[in-house]
Amino acid sequence: MKKQLDLTLYLVLDPLLCGGIDGMVNTAKIAINNGVTAIQLRSEQQFSGKDWYHAALALKDTLSNTPVPLLINDHVDIALATDADGVHIGQNDLPVDITRELIGYNRWLGLSITNRLQLDAVNWHKVDYIGMGPVFTTTTKKDAAPVMGLPQLAELVQLKRCPAVAIGGININNVTEVMQTGIEGVAVVSAICGKPDIKQATLSLIQEIQRAR
C-alpha cells in the first residue's frame, strides 16, 4: 500500500547543498520532524548509479516509519531497485505512458511542466501530480526553463486537473504569494538544504504556508 502524497511542503534534496548522502539523510530527518510532507532525491551533480542507489536506500530507511513518501527524480531504475514510493520526471525524460507502465499504479508519478503548452499535453489519467515552474529564478537547476512568474502560475493552477506543486526559487520571502495562487503546495531546495538551522527553516515555511491557506 503506497503512502499518501501530501504536497504541502515538498523537499527536493540536493547532495551538493546538503553535503553528500549523510547530509541528505540528516536534513531529511530534521525536516520531516518539523513539517516536510514529501521528499524527492535529485542530483544536479555527477552522481553515479551506485551513489543514487545508496542515497535512495538510506533515505528510504530514514522515511520507513513515517508517513512521508520518497520520490526519485528521473531514475525509474533506482526507484524500482529501492522500492521507492514514486518517481518524478521532466519533459525530456521517459514518456509518461512508459514510466507509468514500468512503475505500475502502486507508486506516485509526478511530471514537471513549464508552460501552457505542456500543461495542455498532460495525460491526466497517468500522472498523480504535476510540478509547475520555475516560478522564480533558481540556482539549483542548471537546465531550468524560463521563469514562469506568479501571473502565469496562477493561470495554470486554474487550468490543471490534478494536484500540483510549485517549484523554482521559492523561499520564506515569497512562499505566501505562491500559495495564494491556490496551488496545493511548494517544492523547495535551498530554502531548507544547506541552511544552518534546518529545523527553523522548515518550521518558518510551514507557518507561512498555513497562514496563506
Binding site: what residues are annotated?
40-44, 73-74, 93, 112, 138-141, 169, 189-190
Backbone angle region of 191, left / alpha / beta, with phi > 0 → left and psi within -120 to 50 → alpha: alpha
Binding site for Mg(2+): what residues are annotated?
74, 93
